[in-house]
Each structure stands twice: as structure tokens, then as C-alpha cells.
Amino acid sequence: MSARAMPRWADVTLVPLISLILAFGLSALVILAIGEDPVRATQLMVTGALGSSYGWGYTLYYTTNFLFTGLAVSIAFQARLFNIGGEGQAMLGGLGVAMVALFIPWPNWWLALIAAIAAAGLAGAAWAAIPAWLQARRGSHIVITTIMFNFIAFSLLNYILSHVLRPPTSMDPATARFDNTLRLPRLADVLEPLGIEFSRSGPANVTLFVALAACVLVWALLWRTRLGFEIRAFGESHPAAHYAGISGVKIVMVVMLISGALAGMMAVNSVMGGPQRLVMNAVEGAGFIGIAVALMGRSHPIGIIPAALLFGFLFQGGSELAIETRIPREMIVIIQALVIMFTGALDNMVRRPLEALFLAFRGRA
């Protein structure tokens, strides 16, 4: 077991960190190859994402998205289910938020927020329910079905936005803007009473705290409840869980419903917290970035917090790069892909030498 070869802290921090450094190193080579300066690019990304409260406003906004989708992937992964349908589940979640926000006259934002969380969660869970059922009952592989459902979700949203929810006078496939009372307080509103000045332009809002609370709740669910134990047992070994009387069908269904609901809740941030209306591409790939976040965070609900922050930084820094240099925003997709490759596929490449290193030190001691 790797846990014995290497102390736990090294497994949790050193492996992802070294993978990350390798990914950044390779990205720097790519930037050099397209004729730009990687040092300047790094500086631009850091100042753009973390150098001002405006940058932080966007970084934390994206972080909120990735916290939800990262959690969604993580909890499914605890049961060894690979939910790559976060994208579609979040799109449906957006539809749920839009329905609640457009058709019910809410007296204030926090009632609307609670309803939006519920609607987004329900819609996301409903979208995950079909692949989950197909996996639990029919054995259709969840990876295939969830990714297929992303395309169906996109087409469905496309249809609904173009035909049903688009205001008749508008030419843009998007819903009308939500009522102003539904505007979620942004970080600036939250921090002002504390005497901290924060830019009002960044869309980071109270949903960030909802996301952090969700991390704690998922942690408590996984490690402090019987259901959580069953989920983890099922993930470690299906036959053993079955032998212990744990229903595989129930676990697959419950885990995927929770996972879908978490992915769906992302839309509360990206629809209600940001643009205040549902646009075509509100998810912006966060469902897929959630996979990278979960891999980096070792699928641990608390571990994904720094991972989500890292990707929030990369996402915001990347859009700064696109403005300031000729480096396209897609550069971030390359970094992201490299992170997934190193932390996921090439995990052993970093782990094995590290383990050997630790063993060597221990042998000497």
C-alpha cells in the first residue's frame, strides 16, 4: 500500500504539487513555442487574478463554480463512479434556477436563493437520475451515458432558450433578466460592513459560502454518517459491500442524485449570481474542470477547496492573458489537460519515485 510507503501528508500535498509543477513547466514550453514570454504570462495571470479585488471578484466567482462541480465529481468518485455529466447537469440546474427566478415573484433575495438552490439541485439530480438508473439496473456504463446526456442537455437548452424562454422582442437566445430584488449580494456587500473595500465589478457572491458549506456537509455525509460509510465501502469493493448487505443499486442511485444535485447547484452562482439571466453557455466547461478539481483534491470534499481556488485562478488569469497577450484563452485548457494527465493518468510517474525516495530515507534512518 502506498500509504505505508509514504506519509499521508506527502500523499496529499507533495504528489499533486509536483504534478502541478510538471504541468506548469510543460505549459511554459508551449507558451515559448508560440513565441510568448512565459514569465510575463505568469506575472499577468497572477496580477490579473489575484492582484486586485476586481480580479479576486472573478477568481472567487469561478472558484464557486468549480467547488460545486468538483464536489459533484468527488462524491461520485468516492463510490468509484465517474460522473462526467456535470456539464449537462449544471445546464439543467440553470434551467431550474431560471424557472424559479422568472415565474415566481419573490419578496427578497434569500428566499429566492433557497428556492433556486432547491430547484437547481432537483433539476441536476433529475438529469443524473437516468444515467444512474441505467448504470444501477442495466449496467450501462456511467461514463458513456453521462457524457451523452451532456449533448442532450445542450440541445434541450438550446431549444428552450431559442423557442420558449426567449422574450419575443429579443434576438439573443437567452431568458429575460431576473427581477432586481433577486440580485444576490456580492462579496463587496458582504465585506463592506466589516470595513473591507472590495470591487463591485467582480461577480463573486454569497453563493461562495453556500459552496463552502456544501463542502463541509459532503465531508460530514461521507465520514460521519452510515450512508457515507456505505458509499465508501461500495467504492472500495463492490463484492465486499454486497456481502455486508449494502445495496449497490441504492448506493449508485443515491450517490448520482447527490452528485447531479451538486453540479446543478453550480447554476445558482453562474446564472443568479453572475449575469442574472440564463444564457446559452452559462456553464463554460465548469463540469469538465470539476474532474480536474476532484483529481487534484484527491476527491476529498475539503481537498477540493484549494484545487477549486487554483482553477479559479487559472480561469481568471487565462482570460487576462487573452486580453493582454496573443496567448489564447485555450492555453488554460492545455494547462488543465496537463494537470488531469499528471494527477490522473500519470499519477504513478510522480508517486513511484516519491515512494522510493521516502523508503530510501526511512531505510537510512
Partner 1 sequence: MKLTRKFLGATAATALFAGTALADPAMVYDLGGKFDKSFNEAAYGGAERWAEETGGSYRDLEMQSEAQREQALRRLAESGSNPIVMTGFAFMSVLEQIAPDYPDTTFTIIDGVVDAPNVRSVVFTEHEGSFLVGMLAGMASETGTVGFVGGMDIPLIRRFACGYAQGVMAANPDANVIVNYTGSTPAAWNDPVRGGEITSAQISQGADVVFAAAGGTGVGVLQTATDAGILSIGVDSNQNHMHPGHILTSMLKRVDNAVYEAFTEGAEMETGVHVMDLAAGGVGWALDEHNEGLITAEMHEAVDAAEAAIVSGETVVHDYMSDNSCPISVN
d(CA 347, CA 340): 9
Nearest to 76 by CA among 267, 306, 278, 254: 254
Using rule CB under 8 A, residue 47 touches partner 1: no
Give the nearest distance from C-beta 110 to partner 1 in angstroms: 17
d(CA 45, CA 112): 35
- Residues with Cβ within 8 Å of 90's Cβ and at least 6 positions away in sequence, in order, are 68, 69, 124, 263, 264, 266, 267, 270, 282, 283, 286, 287
d(CA 123, CA 17): 36
**Pattern 227-266, partner 1, x by CB under 8 A:** ----------------------------------------
Q: Cβ(273)–Cβ(64) under 8 Å?
A: yes
Give the nearest distance from C-beta 268 to partner 1 in angstroms: 15
Q: Following CA atoms 123, 128, 134, 139 in sequence, which dihedral angle do they give, to the nearest 10 degrees?
A: -170
Using rule CB under 8 A, residue 50 touches partner 1: no
Using rule CB under 8 A, residue 290 touches partner 1: no
Using rule CB under 8 A, residue 162 touches partner 1: yes
Options 322, 334, 346, 349; binder of partner 1; rule CB under 8 A: 322
Q: CA geometry: angle at 134 spanning 129 and 137, to 5°?
A: 110
Residues 200-229 close enough to bind partner 1 by CB under 8 A? 200-201, 203
Give the nearest distance from C-beta 235 to partner 1 in angstroms: 34
d(CA 191, CA 29): 40
Give the nearest distance from C-beta 173 to partner 1 in angstroms: 6
Count Cα atoms within 13 angstroms, Cβ side, for 75: 31
Residues 2-41 close enough to bind partner 1 by CB under 8 A? none
Cα-flanking dihedrals φ and ψ of residue 205, to 5°? -145, -170
Using rule CB under 8 A, residue 181 touches partner 1: no
Which conformational region is residue 36 in: left (phi greater than 0), alpha (psi within -120 to 50 degrees), or beta? beta
**Pattern 53-92, partner 1, x by CB under 8 A:** -x---x----------------------------------
* Amino acid letter, 55: G
Using rule CB under 8 A, residue 43 touches partner 1: no
Using rule CB under 8 A, residue 318 touches partner 1: no
Give the nearest distance from C-beta 231 to partner 1 in angstroms: 33
Give the nearest distance from C-beta 284 to partner 1 in angstroms: 5
Using rule CB under 8 A, residue 275 touches partner 1: yes
Judged by beta carbon, residue 20 or residue 182, the one nearer partner 1 is: 182
Using rule CB under 8 A, residue 151 touches partner 1: no
Options 270, 299, 336, 343; binder of partner 1; rule CB under 8 A: 270
d(CA 85, CA 144): 9
Residue numbers of the site for partner 1 (CB under 8 A)? Answer: 54, 58, 158-159, 162-163, 170-174, 177, 188-189, 192, 199-201, 203, 270, 274-277, 279-282, 284, 319-320, 322-323, 329
